[in-house]
Amino acid sequence: MPEVTGYKWVPEFAQGFVRDLRVRWALEEAGIPYDEHLISLEENASPAHLKRQPFGQVPAYRDGAVDMFESGAIVLKIAERSEALMPADDPGRARAMSWIFAAMNSVEPRLMNVRSAELFWAGEPWAERFGAKAAELLQMRLARLSDWLGDKPFLEDRFTAGDLMMACVLREIEGTDHLAAFPNLEAYCARCLSRPGFKAALAAQLKAFAAYEAAT
């Protein structure tokens, strides 16, 4: 059975946002059961973990055939094996692939700049100006995404792993002013997150943290 490496516990602000969620969601959509391999925050720097994830992060993933790191690569691998996440035809697969990379390379870095200024660097003398510029650049990118989506339910003609990844990125700013300017993106994000696969993945990650908290 596939095995997903995540954390035993993280601080509350990160609960529900650790990136093994992306892998869990992909497996849920594909209907593939999996085992959890949960490590502590300290263990992520252990030689054994660094051998599997060179940057000391989660997620990692392994099954009988592959041993992988990087959430995007893992989701792509799972998607290649499941039509629930990618169409069977080559042009359709190429589009889904493009959206996975777009979410992680074109949208997420701009969003992370904004969130880092707000959450991690707040109070630094330069953070306010940096954050304002970062927010402006994020709005420009979201405007393009919003134009592309228009009134379609998904980025292409059906739900794919590209939507999964884009929704994982957008939910970081769900309910904030950053997304409020784009009602179609807000509705799109909510549509993706209402899928049973997402709910099951989120519940599984949170259950692990709750179990750890109850035991300590």
Residues that bind ligand GSH (CB under 6 A): 18-19, 44, 56-59, 70-72
Q: Rounded distance, CA 162 to CA 29, Å? A: 13
Query: Which DSSP letter does residue 125 get?
Result: T
Q: At its nearest, how many Å lie between ligand GSH and the CB of residue 47? A: 15
CB 185 within 8 A of CB 142: yes
**Nearer Cβ to ligand GSH (71/146):** 71
What is the DSSP code (8-state) at residue 32? -
The least distance separating ligand GSH from the CB of residue 72, rounded to whole angstroms, comes to: 6
* Residue 66 to residue 76: CA distance in whole angstroms: 13
Tell me the closest approach of the beta carbon of residue 159 to ligand GSH, in angstroms.
21
Beta carbon nearer to ligand GSH, 40 or 176:
40
User: Going by DSSP bridges, is the β-strand pair 67-69/60-62 parallel, antiparallel, or unpaired?
Assistant: antiparallel
Between 146 and 161, CB nearer to ligand GSH: 161
Q: Please give the residue whose beta carbon sits closest to ligand GSH in the complex.
A: 57
Task: Please say which residue, 10 or 179, places its beta carbon nearer to ligand GSH.
Answer: 10
Q: How far is CA 63 from CA 39, 58, 146, 210, in A?
A: 18, 16, 37, 26
Query: Cβ 126 to ligand GSH, closest distance in Å?
Result: 23
